[in-house]
Amino acid sequence: KKEEAKVKKEDLKQIEEDLKKYGTTYKDVERTAKKGDRAEVDFEGFDQDGNAVPNTGSKNHPVVLGENSLIPGFEEKIVGMKVGDNKEFDIKFPKDYGKEDFQNKKLKFKVKLNRLEEAQSPELNDALIEKVVGKKQTLEEFMKEAETNILARKQTELKQKQENDYVEALVKKMKVEISDDLIEQEAYAILHDIKEDIEKRGQKWADFVAKAKTNQEDLLKKYSGEAERRIKIRLALQYIIKEEGIKITDKDLTEELDKIKGMYPETEADKVQKDYDDGPLKNQIANRLSLQRLFDKVLS
């Protein structure tokens, strides 16, 4: 199914809210803290025995109450405090918290409110737009441009969804027998990609495996389902591309190669050409163009 992209009132309202947020200023106030205020707090976490827990403290830490930049439930505890107030409360970290050592952990926090500021929202006008974009532009022009960009993004998202739905439907209709050896080979390929990604981020593969308390055999089993799915998608698309008579010519390939070269500095052109001549890049281009033409034909 092809869905029509539409820009809703809520989308434009969010743009306006973001503009106001960008232009918001703050002034000191003497009252109890409420949601939307900017606060500066000292805090530190302690275990159930009263010992300070490393990496849980901060001084004059800035936080806008309600933005949920701190542990869930923490900012709500600051609401109602006044400058100079001290407060103690328990917080349980979420089970999916980013640092494993703190997942599901309950700590007692001691907090002091050092400063409280009230938000001053700006007017939505041409002056604010000039401040945001760095050039003279009316509010009306900015909102029309924003609407165009939102529509383009939604069209892209819906197109991707339509393509994904098509592939899923195609795979469900196919009947195929895939050998265990082929699935294992694909699982190895998945692990290879994961390993490369891990090492690019400066982590050793052996350390990653040890920390995850797993091994290569278990990982191969874990990704066997994804491996089988990838093979099915590949075979299904190869079959349907042939059935639909999709063909890519040498002219198509060289034109696409020239576009790719144009995205790189001239000094990189020879490297791009070598990648193409060696095969991998040529195959990638051919596969991408075939897929694009298939979707253009069957989903238009």
Average of per-residue pLDDT values in the chain? 93
What's the pLDDT at 242?
95
Q: Give me the mean pLDDT over the 95-119 stretch.
A: 92
Q: DSSP of the chain, one letter per residue?
A: -PPPP---HHHHHHHHHHHHHHH-EEEE--S---TT-EEEEEEEEE-TTSPBPTT--EEEEEEETTS--SSTTHHHHHTT--TT-EEEEEEEPPTT-SSGGGTT-EEEEEEEEEEEEEEEPPP-SHHHHHHHHSS---HHHHHHHHHHHHHHHHHHHHHHHHHHHHHHHHHHH------HHHHHHHHHHHHHHHHHHHHHTT--HHHHHHHTT--HHHHHHHTHHHHHHHHHHHHHHHHHHHHTT----HHHHHHHHHHHHHTS-GGGHHHHHHHHHHSHHHHHHHHHHHHHHHHHHH--
Q: Indicate if the pLDDT at residue 30 is higher than 90.
A: yes
Rounded-to-integer distance, Cα 61 and Cα 83, Å: 14
pTM greater than the 0.85 cutoff: no
Q: Indicate if the pLDDT at residue 156 is higher than 90.
A: yes
Q: Give me the mean pLDDT over the 153-164 stretch.
A: 95
Q: Indicate if the pLDDT at residue 139 is higher than 90.
A: yes
Rounded-to-integer distance, Cα 281 and Cα 259, Å: 13
Tens-place pLDDT, residues 159-191:
999 999 999 999 999 999 999 999 999 999 999
Q: Which amino acid is at 278?
A: D
What's the pLDDT at 116?
97
What's the pLDDT at 184?
95
Q: Indicate if the pLDDT at residue 231 is higher than 90.
A: yes
What's the pLDDT at 163?
95
